[in-house]
Amino acid sequence: MAKLAFLGLGVMGAPMAGHLAKAGHEVTVYNRTGSKADAWVKTHGGRAAGTPREAADGAEFVMACVGNDDDLRAVCLGPDGAFAGMGEGSVFVDHTTVSAAVTRELYDAASDSGIAFVDAPISGGQAGAENGQLSIMCGGDLDAYSRAEPVMEVYAKLCRRIGDSGAGQMTKMCNQIAIAGLVQGLSEALHFAETSGLDGRAVVEVISQGAAGSWQMSNRYETMLDDRFDHGFAVDWMRKDLGICLDAADESGASLPVTALVDQFYKDVQKMGGGRWDTSSLIRRLRKSD
């Protein structure tokens, strides 16, 4: 078993760190709000640290799941950052969804200190984190990935290295691009069924077994029909992710017209007060337009 640190104990990070502790690893946790770290320790054991550096001191692996580019820089860099406490040959694994640019920046900074850096964004939502069924898409050096993979597998359904540093984040962008279009399409289908006087559940029972079927349809249609949007991955975070996608598309020359449109639809949801609703709340925007 390994000595680990986990930085960030939100709805994803807390259960992921819990799986590591349950697997027998020695886990030290850090969270910006210290009370969350103390509560995690009461439940899972281990130790809470006051700074990322303290948490990372002597750790073989440091995992992070924080909010955005700036949050990630804050836990990595500076005199109290994790890199300052990590020893040569240790591995930093970033599960945050951030830009490929900050990933490559931190990969270089880690390399200068003899630290390996793996970008490993996740998909599967809060339920996937709680059940240890996340999909993890990774970028970084093969040796570092090979060392980190057995650790990540305790909360993974699938874990794959896609390529060099940044490849994991670019793959996560593909994931979010695909989800945005799917959720909008599902919202429109369910809204059309409602306005046409059809039984939405009966409609989904039939069409989910054909070419229209998707994970989003199977796992979100009931709560969408019931107008409940409390699954955890918030609209605010989706807009952050889509902004990363659109910025990267500008750099690469990719055309993302549907993604740009759905991003604006999510902006409408935010204006409705739905920034903390989950991403399936796009249907509420359509209902409001009736």
Name the nearest CA neighbour of 129 among 173, 61, 65. Answer: 65
Query: Alpha helix (H) ranges present in the chain?
Result: 13-22, 34-44, 52-56, 69-76, 82-85, 100-112, 125-131, 142-152, 167-195, 200-207, 215-225, 235-252, 257-271, 282-288
| 172 labelled catalytic | yes
In degrees to the nearest 10, what's the CA dihedral of 259, 263, 268, 271? 170
Residue with tokens 């639809």: 265
Q: Which of 3, 42, 172, 271 is catalytic?
A: 172
3 state SS of 242: helix
Positions marked catalytic: 172
